[in-house]
Structure 1
């Protein structure tokens, strides 16, 4: 059965290490006959959550007019969501955190999804990346029926292209085929 797979790439560099892993995941998912879409967050305008309370206190949507409404619609419609980030100071980058914060107005509608997490870091230690994955888990723990289905540790990748020399490329492709 074909699934809708949404890939959220928070890499600030097109063709960066985490973005390359997204492409590998997408290739595998496509080969398994899934519908795939990658959103490159750098190309979108996503403002910070202002904490205005409009979405909670007044039961209305977010009053900000940016690309987040469109992304939220796609997150709600997806069967599986891939969240990919480079690791900055042992956590997700600001682009990904901003996206997560802006789901506030409709996060309860992002339900019954499979989640896959991808992170790349210069550090060779998987242990050093756990804070990043815990950040993703903090988000998904607020979502009804969210299921963590897989993690890709892109360790030892500092410069663009370093990830090509790691097992993570094949792991991302293979994981994409299992969606």
Structure 2
């Protein structure tokens, strides 16, 4: 059965390494017959959460009038969420973190998602992705019924395009194909 897949690309660089892996995931999932959308966060205006909790007394509606209002229905409607980010200072990008924090407005109704994580980093030490993965898993802990389905650690890639000649390209394609 076809699933609705939403890829949240947290790269600040269109066509950057993590964004390129998103494209490979998209290609595999599309070829498998799923309905797939990649949402390039940096191309949209999504402000940070100001912890005013307006949403808690307004049926999950945020007081900020920005592009998160269009993204939230896509998150709610998706069967599969793919969180993708370069690793900066051992954590996820500010772009992806802003989306995570703004998801608080509907945290009581976001549930039962299959989750995939894609990360890239210049460093290739064993611990390089630990904190970023913990951040993504922390988000998953806020989604009742969520299931972690796959993780890609694209290590040792820094400059845009360095990901192209790595096994991570095939891994992302196969992960998407196996949704």
TM-score normalised according to structure 1 size: 0.97
1:53-75 CA-partner distances (Å, limit 9, x unpaired): 11124545111100101111000
Aligned partners of 2:140, 2:13: CA distance in 1, in Å?
A: 25
Cα separation, partners in 2 of 1:145 and 1:165, compared to 1, 3 Å: same
Partner of 2:67: 67
Cα displacement (A) at 1:127: 2.3
Structure 2: which 5+ runs fail to align? none
Aligned partners of 2:15, 2:168: CA distance in 1, in Å?
A: 15
Partner of 2:137: 137
1:110 aligns with 2:110: yes
Cα separation, partners in 2 of 1:150 and 1:126, compared to 1, 3 Å: farther
Cα displacement (A) at 1:137: 0.5
1:27-85 CA-partner distances (Å, limit 9, x unpaired): 00001000000000011100111111111245451111001011110000000000100
C-alpha contact (below 8 Å) 1:8/1:39 kept by paired residues: yes
Partner of 2:79: 79
Match of 1:109, SS state, is coil
Cα separation, partners in 2 of 1:60 and 1:122, compared to 1, 3 Å: closer
C-alpha contact (below 8 Å) 2:121/2:157 kept by paired residues: yes
Equivalent pairs counted in the alignment come to: 179
Aligned partners of 2:126, 2:2: CA distance in 1, in Å?
A: 32
Pick which of 165-174 and 51-60 moved more.
51-60
Cα displacement (A) at 1:128: 1.3
Cα displacement (A) at 1:109: 1.6
Partner of 1:20: 20
Cα displacement (A) at 1:151: 0.3
Aligned partners of 1:166, 1:156: CA distance in 2, in Å?
A: 10
Cα displacement (A) at 1:125: 2.4
Cα displacement (A) at 1:164: 1.1
Q: Report the RMSD for the aligned CA atoms in angstroms.
A: 1.0
Partner of 1:33: 33
1:134-159 CA-partner distances (Å, limit 9, x unpaired): 10011110111011000011101100
C-alpha contact (below 8 Å) 1:126/1:155 kept by paired residues: no
Cα separation, partners in 2 of 1:165 and 1:9, compared to 1, 3 Å: same
Structure 1: which 5+ runs fail to align? none
